[in-house]
Amino acid sequence: MAENLIIVESPSKAKTIEKYLGSKFKVIASNGHVRDLPKSQLGVEIEDDFAPKYITLRGRGDVIEKIRREAKAAKQIYLATDPDREGEAISWHLANMLKLKPEDKCRIVFNEITKGVIQKSIKSPRTIDLSLVDAQQARRVLDRLLGYKISPLLWMKVKKGLSAGRVQSVTTKIICDREREIQDFVPKEYWTISVKLHHGRHNFEAKFNGLNGKKYELSSEEQAKRIVDISTDADYVVSGVKTAKKSRHAPAPYTTSSMLQDASNRVSMPPKRTMLCAQQLYEGINIKGKGSIGLITYMRTDSVRISKEAQDAARAFIAEKFGAQYVPERPNFYRGRSGAQDAHEAIRPTDVTLTPALIKDSLEPGQYKLYKLIYERFIASQMSEAVIETTTVSIDTQTADVCNYRASGSKTLFDGFTAVYKGGADDEEDDGSANLPQMAEGDAPKYVSITPKQNFTEPPPRYTEASLVKTLEELGIGRPSTYSPTISTIIDRGYVEKEKKQLVPTELGFIVNKLMEDNFSKIVDVKFTADMESSLDSIEDGNVRWQSIVSDFYTPFKEDLDKAFANTPKVELKPEVSDVPCEKCGAMMVYKEGRFGRFLACPNYPKCKNTKTIVDKIGVKCPKCGADIIKRQGKKGKSFYGCERYPDCDYVSWDKPTGESCPKCGKMLVQKIRVNGRYTACEDKDCGYIKRKESKKTEQEKDE
């Protein structure tokens, strides 16, 4: 038995940490929480100052027994769960379970899982931070009270299986509000005119800007036609040329929010998958020849701060890789948003010498994509500014009524940080007008053609997962740990659907949101929700008792709840009608939700009790008999693929068949979907064939 026992949350984290320590240390995992509120009851003693009733989680007996056994034999116990409220609470529960004393210095925290940081943290253990624990308890109790009290109302008034939540309900409202804006939007007509001109050897375009020295908005075809008539075959003269240099500062290293946004926008990775890959990169990946290594710092943070050691390492790497001109004279520092917690560093690689190209073969596709984003963003954040030259040319018609046109262009004089990071969704792009010919005041470009275009103003765009995360952060709703699960919850509950990348509220989402707005206006109020987050921060800072925050919330909430039960009418949901007729009575069947997913049912139930499974053909023929392969639902809700002639044909696959034959053995190729990405492989494991896509390497990857 080891003298020192370290308890972490996950086995992969335990494996990574153990390799940095000698034989006197043993590292084991609790696999998350060991105690929590019971699922079968409220679990909060409202009359006893909201005391939570924690129970040992079912199915954790073997893990708990192992922890107790190892703890009994150890001289020193260290609790090394994640460095946030949830992690602090898990350590507190473990300490209670192991009967550790409140004054025991048993808690160690680290922002990155590297040898130096781990060894340093062991030398400076602390007591459990009860303010952090209280903040977590307040959040847990608030969410339990709200969820377990409102859910029965939703089941009674709408349908079973629904839920409400402190953050999910206001998030649903934000999406519903945007959809209403779109529905109510009245488009307005406007026109744009571009003229093609020729100067020197080049054609270029200029856009209409004004008439007779004043701005002139084109809101009708008649106005546009007047400008076209004046400008067609007119003589043109350059009336002014403005050239300016401007600098673009490097972006800050990632916070959780900016990482989720960039991953979604740049590599189409949804928040849930992004956070899973980030967790794996943080806890440790087995790198060929190096063993298990924690590749990034802690991934739940809203800080843009980085350590001096990391900054110095990045600057040295940049100087060697790109040259001294790419290293700013003074190190780059970034200011976090107002209200951001600065407990952890920004998300960055733990070792800048581990370039994405160097370790690509050790990473799953999703891990590689995310690590590359994090790595490049961090390196770019420590690089020099990009310098851009912009040119704006003003061109006038030589007519009685003078039409003014403008052409603009830009070119990069020094690429700076853009040598690594080519800009995200919100960054300026080179507008491609570097081909603008050299012009001076008095030059006379020649008319080539003119193009008027009718346009209409557009409604605000629907939220994507990326833009929703940005909005939640800006409004102060939720924290880095809640963005991803909140979005997943409202989709899973059926309140919101994803159409391509857009988040669209369903009829059910509108109904539940209206019920919440009518009865619990505070809960779905953006400011109230943001203020509640600030209250939780105050508990963490030790400024207020957590029970006071819960009490202040619960008293008016209980009054609203009682009124809602008494006054809210039952909502009749209209069933979704299919195009499949019931073969027994002829009525058009409707879609229903069951234990194992959607199915078709006759609307004349109980007179007609006919039901049918939904046949979902995937467009691939069975390799055994040639019939269609269809997607089916298993007893536990998991999808699989089988021949439509089952049981006469027994072909079945858990992975989606592609219709292609394996070039190695001739069997079916299937689409493998794993948490870190998807790929195509032979359905026969013994064959082992994997179809790999050819990908173009970036110049940076080639250099690396």
Q: What is the mean pLDDT of residues 296-323?
A: 95
Same-domain status, 244 and 99: no
Please state the domain count of the chain: 4
The average pLDDT across 682-701 equals: 62
Concatenated DSSP letters for 193-250? Answer: EEEEEEETTEEEEEEEEEETTEE----SHHHHHHHHHHHTT--EEEEEEEEEEEEEPP
Q: Tell me what pLDDT residue 596 has.
A: 57
To the nearest whole number, what is the mean pLDDT of the chain? 90
Q: Is residue 201 part of a domain?
A: yes
Of the residues 298, 421, 463, 651, only one is catalytic, namely: 298
Q: How confident is the model over 173-184, as pLDDT tens digits?
A: 999 999 999 999
Q: Is residue 643 part of a domain?
A: no
What is the model's pLDDT at position 597?
62
* pLDDT at residue 336 tops 70: yes
Same domain flag for 305 and 397? no
Burial of 608 by CB count in 10 Å (0-12 exposed, 13-18 middle, 19+ buried)?
middle
Residue 505 dihedral angles phi and psi, to the nearest 5°: -70, 140
* CATH number for position 435: 2.70.20.10
The pLDDT, as a whole number, for residue 692 is 64
Is 375 labeled as catalytic in the residue annotation?
no
Q: What is the mean pLDDT of residues 575-586?
A: 88
Percentage of residues of the chain with pLDDT beyond 70: 93
Residue 75 resides in a domain = yes
Q: Enumerate the β-bridge partners of residue 59.
A: none
Give the per-residue pLDDT at 693: 53
**Average pLDDT of the segment spanning 667-688:** 79
What is the distance, to the nearest Å, from the Cα of residue 637 to the centroid of all Cα atoms in its chain?
A: 26
| Predicted confidence band of residue 695 (pLDDT cuts 50, 70, 90) | very low
> Are residue 376 and residue 308 in the same domain, yes or no?
yes
Residue 634 lies in a domain: no
At 9-57, the pLDDT tens digits run 999 899 999 989 988 999 999 999 999 999 999 999 999 999 999 999 9
Residues 479 and 563 in one domain: yes
Bigger pLDDT: 593 vs 697: 593
* Overall average pLDDT of the 557-584 stretch: 90
Residues 242 and 274 in one domain: no
Q: How confident is the model at residue 637 (pLDDT cuts 50, 70, 90)?
A: low
Alpha carbons 81 and 30: distance in angstroms, whole number: 9
Percent residues over pLDDT 90 in the chain: 75
Tell me the pairing of strands 502-505 and 577-581.
Answer: unpaired
Q: Which of 567, 583, 605 delimits the end of a domain?
A: 567
The neighbouring-strand residues paired with 502 are: 464, 499
- Whole-angstrom Cα Rg for the chain: 31
Q: Does 563 lie in the same domain as 488?
A: yes
pLDDT recorded at residue 704:
34
At 524 the pLDDT is 95
User: Tens digits of per-residue pLDDT, 460-508?
Assistant: 999 999 999 999 999 999 888 899 999 999 999 999 999 889 999 999 9
Res. 288: pLDDT tops 60: yes
- Is position 358 within any domain? yes
Ramachandran sector of residue 471 (left: φ over 0; alpha: ψ -120 to 50; beta: rest):
alpha
Q: Could you tell me the CATH number of the domain that includes residue 103? A: 3.40.50.140
The mean pLDDT of 519-546, rounded to a whole number, is: 94
Q: Is residue 694 part of a domain?
A: no
* Same domain (yes/no): 447, 479: no
Same structural domain, 73 and 21: yes
Among 109, 128, 147, identify where a domain stops: 128
689, 665 Cβ separation under 8 angstroms: yes
Note whether residue 599 is domain-resident. Answer: no
On whether residue 472 sits in a domain, the answer given is yes
Q: pLDDT at position 111, please?
A: 92
Same domain, 244 and 391: yes
101-154: pLDDT as tens digits: 989 999 999 999 999 999 999 999 999 999 999 999 999 999 999 999 999 999
Q: What is the pLDDT of residues 606-634, one digit of tens each?
A: 899 999 877 778 889 998 888 899 887 66
Q: Cβ atoms within 10 A of the Cβ of 355, count?
A: 21
Q: Are residues 401 and 443 in the same domain?
A: yes
Domain that holds residue 397: 189-249+386-456
Residue 256's pLDDT is what? 96
Asked if residue 650 has pLDDT above 90, the reply is: no
Q: Are residues 165 and 193 located together in one domain of the fold?
A: no
What is residue 198's predicted lDDT score, i.e. its pLDDT? 97
Give the domain CATH number at 501.
1.10.460.10
Residue where one domain finishes, among candidates 347, 381, 415? 381
Residues 295 and 315 in one domain: yes
How confident is residue 310, by pLDDT bands cut at 50, 70 and 90? Answer: very high
Nearest residue to 153 via CA among 560, 673, 466: 560
Say what the pLDDT of residue 424 is.
47
